[in-house]
A and B are shown apart, each in its own frame.
Chain A
Amino acid sequence: MAIYRRNYKPYSGTTTPEWSRFLVLFRYSRRNLFRSKFMTAFFVICFFYPAVCLAVIYVAHSASFLAQFGLPGGILSIDNKFFYAFISVQGVFAFLLTAFAGPGLISPDLANGALPLYFCRPFSRAEYVLGKSSVLAILLSQITWVPGLVLFIVQASLAGASWTWTNLWIAGSLVLSSLLWIAILSLLAMALSAWVKWRIVAGALLLALMFFGAGFAQAINAVLRTESGHFLNVAYLMETVWNSLFQVDATHAIPVSQAWIALLLYCLICLALLMRKVRAYEVVQ
């Protein structure tokens, strides 16, 4: 493009649909995120375990391979516990990825006072949150339920229709458990970064919330001789829900329904905190 003259001309062309504007934020935020080599490397590492799982599924159905090592045919069983293990491992990766990528999404905008520039345009606060959270949502989906479903499809194609119909619920559990974890992580990361405004501190807080939250919950349980402390342990609540979704036998101190309610409550609190901070200017009363 050549620029010949320093002048200003108004714009009279077409505009993009309003509903699609949040995707602008998604594109730019994602691009910024992957400028970090560490981030790119870590994202690649997140696919290591799914690759191992894929190999395990292949080996489980390869009688000749097992025979080479003198192993019986049914030694590797691909069932709900296999996928539960998969989502548990990938859940940890998702958490670490969020701790790295999440706080950097909103805190720079708040620290540099950029929010009025977004909201003076035909662009709402909800669209802003949607645009920013979609970065994490898509990123985390790529390492949780998407590879999970790929594994399920591979297993289904190798195991046959009978296995598929019997275990179709596992696919639903994969998606649901991942989406819940993604929602919790995204909202927690963004709410913390909105309140702290400092990226590193927000990341550290997210880690502290998970690790110290568990310790704090144990301390409350021990001191007050109760089980209610588990409500402060997001990881424990999530584990309770996952166990239920994947029908894994485990004993839990709190009922599954209460764990669901607590997690949804966490989401709502984070959303409320986020909407309180994400505004053009804070009103000081």
Chain B
Amino acid sequence: MSTTIHPGAASGASEQAPPAAPLPALVDLQGLSVQFGNREILRSLTASLRGRSIGLLGPNGAGKSTLINTLLGFYKSSAGSARVFGYDIGTEVRKIRSLVGYMPENDAFISKMTAVSFVRMMGELSGLPPDMALERAHEALFYVGLAEARYRHLGTYSLGMKQLAKLAQAIVHGPKLLILDEPTNGLDPSARQRMIRMIREIRDGKEMRILLCSHLLRDVEDTCDEVLILKQGRIAHYSNLDEERRANKRFLELETYGANGDFTEAIEKLGCECAVTANRMKMILADGVETRDIFRLAAERQVRIRRMNFRRDSLEDIFLKAMES
């Protein structure tokens, strides 16, 4: 049995109020299944993805790329349906494709073309008039940082540069949704940093929404505000990362000097749960209690706080929990 999943609902975290102005649904999955031969790759996925930047996480073979390819109409669904921006993937795939920029995982280029010709051609195929496509090809290549190399043949590019060229072709026509399939694949640390920074800039620019598929938790954590975790073709978890982070701020660890029972009592009066061992205190902050309240209580009682540590569950914890579930 499948149920509609909204961020946070499947996480088991405390109920959070929905955002004041929720974004329209980016992707609606309604029992979507995809089958290759006898092998079921996606199994009755049902979710409504609404975030500005959504990460698709999962181990290799979980069905992340298959989901993306199905949303783009490359694969046919065997059961159920899906909508992107309200358009059905079965009947209105052309409309979906006109709103989407796609950066595939593997090498995808035309070796004997210069980057500017390549990006221009892709722009023209998306419907830009030739002059405008040329102008925007230059702009996109400048934007991704390939300005100096834009007249070089793509065959001579390094892997990192090819990734950037793929990003340029994905944004040249000004899509509403940018789909990135393993964008940091094969990049060295500095190139990865550049790519992540670029994705964050695009996200923060708010012109495009992002669907990022990766098996690297760090990439998703750095760039996404929502995460959909897939496991063996099923949705293992879908949550809002900000809300998860906020929920996990309750765990606080203090190392103090001069603390006594009075300080602990005062904290407990705020509604926090405390556990004291020697000069260390572990507490779960109650709703509405902020760290500045702890600092205030400590100052009033002349307690020195030598170390304060938020124990936040990282995405890795969320991922592992989802995998174990």
Contact = CB atoms under 8 A, between A and B. Distances in A.
Contacts of A11: 128, 132, 136, 173-174
Is the contact region of chain B dominated by helix, strand, or loop, or is it mixed? mixed
Given A16-B124, A18-B127, A32-B112, A120 B143 contact: no
B142 to A, nearest CB: 5
B256 to A, nearest CB: 48
A24 B121 contact: yes
A119 interface: yes
Given A11-B173, A11-B174, A120 B94 contact: no
A10 B102 contact: no
B127 A9 contact: no
Interface string B59-74: 0000000000100111
Given A112-B107, A117-B108, A117-B122, A122 B97 contact: yes
Give the contact-size bracket for chain B. Answer: 35 or more
A231 B39 CA distance: 40
B168 to A, nearest CB: 10
Given A13-B129, A16-B127, A122-B127, A108 B111 contact: yes
Contacts of A162: none
B29 interface: no
B143 A118 contact: no
Contacts of B132: 11, 13
Contacts of B129: 13-16
Given A120-B97, A280-B72, A285-B37, A28 B111 contact: no
Give the contact-size bracket for chain A. Answer: 35 or more
A3 interface: yes
Nearest to B34: A283
Nearest to A32: B112
Contact of A8 (B111, B128, B207): B207
Given A8-B171, A9-B207, A281-B74, A16 B128 contact: yes
A121 B128 contact: no
A283 B37 CA distance: 9
Interface in B128-172: 128-129, 132, 135-136, 138-140, 142-143, 145, 147, 166, 169, 171
B30 interface: no
Interface of B: 36-37, 39, 69, 72-75, 94-95, 97-98, 100-102, 104, 106-113, 117, 121-122, 124-129, 132, 135-136, 138-140, 142-143, 145, 147, 166, 169, 171, 173-174, 179, 201-202, 205, 207-208
B110 A116 contact: no
Contacts of A239: none
Interface in A217-254: none
Interface of A: 1, 3, 6-16, 18, 21, 24-25, 28, 32, 108-109, 112-124, 279-281, 283-285
Contacts of A7: 143
A28 B121 contact: yes
Given A116-B104, A122-B97, A122-B126, A283 B111 contact: no
Contacts of B138: 1, 3
Contacts of A25: 125
Contacts of A16: 124, 127-129
Contacts of A13: 128-129, 132
Given A13-B132, A121-B125, A6 B143 contact: yes
Nearest to A109: B110
Given A28-B121, A32-B112, A122-B98, 9 more contacts: A3-B139, A11-B128, A11-B173, A15-B129, A18-B94, A112-B110, A114-B109, A122-B94, A122-B126
A125 to B, nearest CB: 11
Contacts of B95: 122
Nearest to B38: A285
A119 B139 CA distance: 23
Contacts of B36: 283-285
B230 to A, nearest CB: 18
Contacts of A283: 36, 75
B121 A8 contact: no
Contacts of B113: 32
A7 B128 CA distance: 19
A13 B131 CA distance: 12
Contact of B125 (A24, A280, A285): A24
A122 B110 CA distance: 19
Contacts of A3: 138-139, 142, 147
Given A9-B207, A11-B174, A120-B100, A21 B127 contact: yes
Contacts of B135: 1
Contacts of B171: 8
A124 B138 CA distance: 26
Given A24-B125, A281-B74, A112 B109 contact: yes
